[in-house]
Structures are given as structure tokens and as C-alpha cells.
């Protein structure tokens, strides 16, 4: 038996993925809704954007900030990596960046980042 056992799906998910700023990711999240009859339904909704920050590295409370531009409006979401409602995280593209926090992208950075398409 090894000292490090992975008990839940969430811990395995963060172990195998090395999420870094500059990656374009698609985060699938389970959403519970009530329909008109009062029944609770569950569906999966995804949020696709670029990671502009990662905080707390490998700790339990680690988070990533994902940003996208929707209809000309910038939208940011902060996802805790150990959130039980996160179903999966897909990496779409990887951009070459030299910073750990990409907050300069908020202020209308004009140049394009050099990206490599994964899938």
C-alpha cells in the first residue's frame, strides 16, 4: 500500500491535470434546476475561457480564475479545483506566457498570444 491514496474523483482530477495560466480550458459543471412541476433536474453546463490566475498551488483550497469575452463583455469566474460539482476540465489550447498572473489581458491587450491547439 502506498502512503498517498486517492479517495475521491476530485482529488484524482487535480492530480493528473497541471493547470497553468495561459491555458484555454472548458470546465464542465453540474447544475441543479427546478422545472415548472417542481422536479429537480441536473444538467451539465460548460464555461470555456483562458486561465488568467491560479492561486494556492496544490492546497485543498486551490482556485483558478477563468476569463472569456461574451458579446463584447468580459466575464470571469473563479473555480475552486476541489468543487464537487465540477465534472471535468478539458484543455483546449496552451499559450506561451511569461507571467503567473495574466491580469493585463483585462485592460485590452492588443497582441495575440502564441497558442498551440491541443484538441
> pLDDT tens digit string along 28-52?
999 999 988 889 999 999 999 999 9
Contact 47, 68 (CB under 8 A): yes
**Domain 9-117, second-level architecture:** Roll (2.30)
Residues of the chain above pLDDT 70, percent? 85
Average pLDDT (109-116) is 81
Residues of the chain above pLDDT 90, percent? 66
Rounded-to-integer distance, Cα 98 and Cα 58, Å: 20
Burial class (CB in 10 A: 0-12, 13-18, 19+), 10: middle
pLDDT of the residue at 118? 81
Write down the mean pLDDT value for the chain: 85
Burial class (CB in 10 A: 0-12, 13-18, 19+), 111: exposed
Residue ranges of the domains in the chain? 9-117
Amino acid at each position: 500500500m502506498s502512503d498517498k491514496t486517492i479517495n475521491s474523483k476530485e482529488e484524482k482530477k487535480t492530480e493528473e491535470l497541471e493547470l497553468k495560466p495561459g491555458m484555454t480550458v472548458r470546465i464542465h459543471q453540474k447544475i441543479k434546476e427546478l422545472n415548472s412541476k417542481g422536479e429537480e433536474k441536473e444538467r451539465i453546463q460548460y464555461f470555456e475561457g483562458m486561465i488568467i490566475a491560479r492561486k494556492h498551488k496544490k492546497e485543498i483550497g486551490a482556485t483558478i480564475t477563468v476569463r472569456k469575452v461574451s458579446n463584447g463583455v468580459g466575464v470571469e469566474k473563479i473555480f475552486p479545483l476541489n468543487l464537487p460539482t465540477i465534472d471535468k476540465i478539458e484543455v483546449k489550447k496552451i499559450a506561451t506566457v511569461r507571467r503567473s498572473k495574466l491580469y493585463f489581458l483585462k485592460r485590452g491587450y492588443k497582441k495575440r498570444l502564441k497558442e498551440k491547439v491541443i484538441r
